[in-house]
Amino acid sequence: MRYLTAALYKFVDLPEHATWREPLRTLCGSQGVKGTLLLAREGINGTIAGPEAGVRAVLAWLRSDARLADLQHKESWADTPPFHRLKVRLKREIVTLGVPGLDPTRTVGTYVKPADWNALIEQPDVLLIDTRNDYEVKIGTFEGAVNPGIRSFTELPAWLAQQPALQGPNKPRVAMFCTGGIRCEKSTALLKMQGFEEVYHLEGGILKYLEEVPPGSSRWRGECFVFDERVSVGHGLAPGASELCRSCRWPLTEEDRQSPLFEQGVSCPHCHDQRDAAARERLAERQRQVLLARERGAQHIGSTAPQAAQSQTVSRSGSATP
């Protein structure tokens, strides 16, 4: 059995969004669909996965509402379940930026299709900004992109306000990108609200670029972090080589896994110093249970991991989306 993953979002006025929660939970449950869906007054965001018929049934249910009739989604396939649970959550924002009065349905940057993205970012007067979190950027980004070094999307406005190149009366041309496009909807809307005239963002995000642009023409370097059990993807949305630390859920490179501070399921170079002996023993026991379950051919989800890099951005930036 193969599993279809669908990443979706749309900014649209949904005053009755709270009433959607239970019908969506019931429908997803009956169709074997898991993942995360976020509902807010400003719209819907999420990534779901399951049997193809089940995922398409959920998408059809959403599109049966006239306001979501044109809901776009990005899809990929996996041989193992990308998610182990279903979460349908009510939020104030479907991607949290925390800027009062910001409305991407009214003003947003200019969309640039993947096929035209290279031509834009190769221009020397364009400032290219990666709006994702630092742990995402470190495993892959566009050549020449600026990394704000933020831990969560809510830190981006403060970072933008501190950049000399973005201050003053002569506003530069700015291009922004993120995993699936949703964070750029808000970040470009923010710059437009602040008086920037030429603001662009990658339509469909990194995932659409990797899907459509061949490796030989690509300006992408590395892998793209995704918020499910695939961890990362490359060109053609093929699964990448990154793994998650099961202790802190930081994406690990091969270099990270070769570190003496890495112990499968217990610690990695990013969290080793944050775990005392008692915590490491608990995590080691959990890892032993995971291995025993695997030997029996069962799936062991395990207890909830400590707060970590991935959980800090549950609002997707990717793409529940991403």
The yes-or-no verdict on residue 304 having pLDDT over 70 is: no
Provide mean pLDDT across the span 154-173: 93
The yes-or-no verdict on residue 153 having pLDDT over 90 is: yes
CA nearest to 182, candidates 96, 262, 290, 120: 96
| pLDDT at res. 313 | 32
The yes-or-no verdict on residue 299 having pLDDT over 80 is: no
Residue 178 falls in the annotated catalytic set: yes
The yes-or-no verdict on residue 305 having pLDDT over 70 is: no
| pLDDT at res. 176 | 98
Q: Give 76: exposed, middle or buried? Use CB within 10 Å, 0-12, 13-18, 19+.
A: buried
Q: Which of 31-35, 80-84, 124-128, 300-304 has the lowest mean pLDDT?
A: 300-304
Q: Which fold has domain 110-216?
A: Oxidized Rhodanese; domain 1 (3.40.250)
Domain extent listing, the chain: 3-90, 110-216, 242-311
| pLDDT at res. 57 | 98
Q: How far apart are CA 235 and CA 46, in angstroms?
A: 22
The yes-or-no verdict on residue 107 having pLDDT over 90 is: no
The yes-or-no verdict on residue 308 having pLDDT over 50 is: no
| pLDDT at res. 298 | 62
- The domain 3-90 is placed in CATH, from the list 3.40.50.2300, 3.30.70.100, 3.60.110.10, 3.10.20.30, at 3.30.70.100
Indicate which residue of 28, 178, 245, 248 is catalytic.
178
Provide mean pLDDT across the span 107-120: 96
| pLDDT at res. 300 | 53
